[in-house]
Structure formats: C-alpha cells, structure tokens
C-alpha cells in the first residue's frame, strides 16, 4: 500500500517557500523530494552494495584414499543435469563432442569446466554412456553439496589425423573456442588472452589413452589449463624410455612456461593391479623428486598427488570413482 505524506511550510509573507514529499511502499521509504523556488531535488535511499562473503578455504585431506561413490550415485538423480551432443568444425574436420551442464544451468553464471577424454577403442559417447554414466555421479555430488556445479566436456581424439598424443593441438585451436564460445565459463571471450586468464577454472583429464592425451596437454597447454587428472596412463613422447626421462620432459615444459608450483595441480590415479600402473608409477615417483612438485593431496600446500586404489584394474567401472574422489579437490586455488 502506497502512502504519500505531504508537508508544506509557508513564509510569513504567505508565499510558498518549500515542500517535502515522501513516498512509502510497504512501510519503507522509496524516495523523498525537496522543492524550493529554484530547484527540485529527489532523494533516493542509499542502496547498499552486496558484500561478497569471504571464500572459505577448502578442507583438503592431505593423504586422500580411494573411496567408491555410494551405490545410489550410480542411479538417476532427482536433480539431473543434461548431456548435450554438439557438432563442430575444427582443425581435424567435422567432429562431435558431449557437454554435461548441471541441474539449473544458468547462462548468466560462470562455471568451472573439465574436459575428460575417453580411452582407446572408445569415443565421445563412452563416459556418459550406459557403461559409465558419470553424469549420475556428478548430479548426486552437486545435489548433495560435495561438488560445485560445473560443465564437463567429453571430446574425442578419433578420426581425421587426430590421435591421443597430438589432441592438444585440436583442444587448443578448436575445442576450447567452440565450447567456451557457446557455454558460460570464466573465459570472458575466446581470445587467447581471455583463455589464458581463465586457466585456473579449466581442467583436463583422461583415462588410458585419454591419460596419454592428458600428459601431452600438460606439456603444450599449461598456459591455458591449471588442473590435470591423468588416470591410468603415462607420458608417451620421443626419447621417454624411463620414468626419469618422462619427469625431465615435464620439468622442461614447466621451465618454459615460467609457472611456479602454485600455478598447476595434478591429481593422478590408478589401481594397483591396473596394466598402466607399472609405467605410471615410476614416472610419478620421479616427478616427486623434482623441485617443480610438492607431493600432497592438500592443494593449498602442494600440487601433485597419486592415488592408488588397492586391487583395482583397468576399467571405467573403477575409474569413474577416481573422478568422484579427485574432482572435488579442483578449482580452489
């Protein structure tokens, strides 16, 4: 209900000298007006800018152990996100990829983004397909407050001259500009400068041959990506015959980037009985001895961790739980 209160004061000579007008709505002052012979001045109550709450530090476990997601997380969720098929024309020709957007996705909000690559003899449909259904785990984690809403993209290294080792070229030139030009991430635009400026809100990971692609993305895209999730695989590169060779190659890439240990973070994982363990483990052990890495899963203090799940083998049915364990540790630094 609107209430108008008008008061006037007259000078002794009987002429109108000033007036004040107050307008209320729902018991609150909306504006006031002072009128004088020379001017009319409106006054609106001061609007207090919202105060951004200080960011609460994430509660890391410094020695994270494997925990499978609850069984119900493998089933559909009442707050389900969407998986969208997208078509793009990039440096490797016409290709498709899948994009997961969380429940309540709002194009006016900014989202962190994870690019997650499939393994050999698989494709862009695998991770959100019936055998893995990673979207169900993401949905439940987000609904239960274990994970901030984010975008997850599953591209493919298949076809048109592409392969796991060189996918970083397509990732940089075609995939990021297409996806982040269409979906709302922290990149203000798809210019090189804005892609670089938003690197702390971008992650890349992959399983098996997708893990091979992950290590190469680390080598060649460190300037546009800060978080990495290599799952069950090692670095494949020329002259990389030992764990020490692979660690030195990674050290060289870091030296060229100019970044410090607070600028990149690696959560690696595999099973103790995984066929990839004998190759991945020596590489990680050599990396632990490098001054470029501080080994802990507490990413407020370090930047490298290797989670080994006892008895597990080379299978997405296990690997999806590595994502469940590691992904909440991303995007806090």
DSSP assignments along 262-290, one per residue: TS-EEEEEEETT-TTHHHHHHHHHHHHTS
Average of per-residue pLDDT values in the chain: 90
Inter-CA distances, 147 with 1, 141, 210, 256, Å:
44, 5, 23, 33
More confident residue, 299 or 17: 299
SS3 (DSSP) at 196: helix
Whether the predicted pLDDT of 284 surpasses 90: yes
Q: Which of 190, 197, 193 is nearest to 175 (CA)?
A: 190
Rounded to an integer, what distance in angstroms lies between the CA atom of residue 148 and that of residue 330? 10
Burial of 100 (0-12, 13-18, 19+ CB in 10 A): buried
Rounded to an integer, what distance in angstroms lies between the CA atom of residue 250 and that of residue 287? 8
Inter-CA distances, 37 with 7, 8, 146, 302, Å:
16, 13, 63, 69
Whether the predicted pLDDT of 193 surpasses 50: yes
- Position 56 scores a pLDDT of 82
CB atoms within 10 A of CB 132: 23
- Quote the percentage of the chain above a pLDDT of 70: 84
Whether the predicted pLDDT of 55 surpasses 70: yes
295-307 confidence digits (pLDDT tens): 999 999 999 999 9
More confident residue, 25 or 132: 132
**Span 114-125, mean pLDDT?**
98
- Quote the percentage of the chain above a pLDDT of 90: 82
Rounded to an integer, what distance in angstroms lies between the CA atom of residue 96 and that of residue 94? 7
Whether the predicted pLDDT of 261 surpasses 80: yes
In this structure, are residues 207 and 229 in contact, taking their beta carbons and an 8 Å threshold? no
| Cα angle for residues 234, 331, 182 (degrees, 5° grid) | 95
Helix and strand tally (H, E) in the chain? 8, 12
C-alpha distance across the termini of the chain, in Å = 49
230-252 confidence digits (pLDDT tens): 999 999 999 899 999 999 999 99
Whether the predicted pLDDT of 14 surpasses 50: no
In this prediction, residue 16 has a pLDDT band, given cuts at 50, 70 and 90, of very low
Whether the predicted pLDDT of 7 surpasses 50: no
In this prediction, residue 48 has a pLDDT band, given cuts at 50, 70 and 90, of low
**Span 260-285, mean pLDDT?**
99
């Amino acid at each position: 209900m609107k209430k108008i209160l008008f008061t006037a004061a007259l000078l002794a000579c009987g002429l109108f000298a000033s007036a004040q007008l107050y307008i209320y709505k729902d018991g609150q002052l909306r504006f006031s007006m002072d009128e004088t012979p020379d001017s009319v001045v409106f006054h609106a109550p001061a609007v207090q800018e919202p105060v951004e709450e200080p960011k609460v530090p994430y509660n890391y476990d410094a020695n994270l152990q494997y925990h499978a997601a609850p069984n119900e997380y493998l089933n559909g969720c009442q707050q389900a996100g969407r998986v969208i098929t997208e078509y793009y024309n990039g440096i490797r020709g016409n290709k498709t990829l899948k994009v997961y957007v969380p429940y309540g996705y709002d194009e006016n909000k900014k989202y962190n983004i994870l690019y997650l690559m499939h393994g050999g003899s698989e494709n862009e449909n695998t991770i959100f397909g019936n055998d893995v259904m990673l979207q169900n785990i993401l949905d439940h984690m987000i609904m239960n407050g274990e994970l901030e809403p984010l975008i997850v993209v599953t591209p493919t290294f298949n076809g048109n001259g592409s392969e796991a080792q060189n996918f970083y070229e397509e990732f940089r030139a075609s995939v990021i500009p297409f996806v982040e030009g269409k979906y709302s991430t922290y990149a203000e635009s798809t210019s090189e400068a804005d892609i670089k400026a938003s690197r702390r809100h971008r992650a890349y990971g992959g399983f098996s041959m997708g893990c091979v692609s992950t290590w190469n993305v680390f080598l060649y895209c460190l300037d546009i990506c800060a978080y990495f999730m290599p799952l069950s695989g090692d670095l494949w590169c020329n002259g990389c015959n030992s764990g020490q060779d692979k660690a030195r190659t990674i050290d060289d890439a870091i030296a060229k980037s100019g970044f410090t240990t607070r600028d990149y973070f690696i959560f690696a994982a595999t099973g103790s009985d995984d066929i990839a363990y004998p190759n991945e483990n020596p590489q990680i052990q050599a990396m632990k001895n490098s001054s470029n890495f501080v080994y802990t899963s507490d990413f407020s203090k370090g930047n490298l961790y290797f989670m080994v799940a006892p008895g597990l083998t080379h299978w997405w049915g296990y690997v999806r739980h590595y994502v469940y364990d590691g992904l909440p540790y991303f995007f806090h630094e």
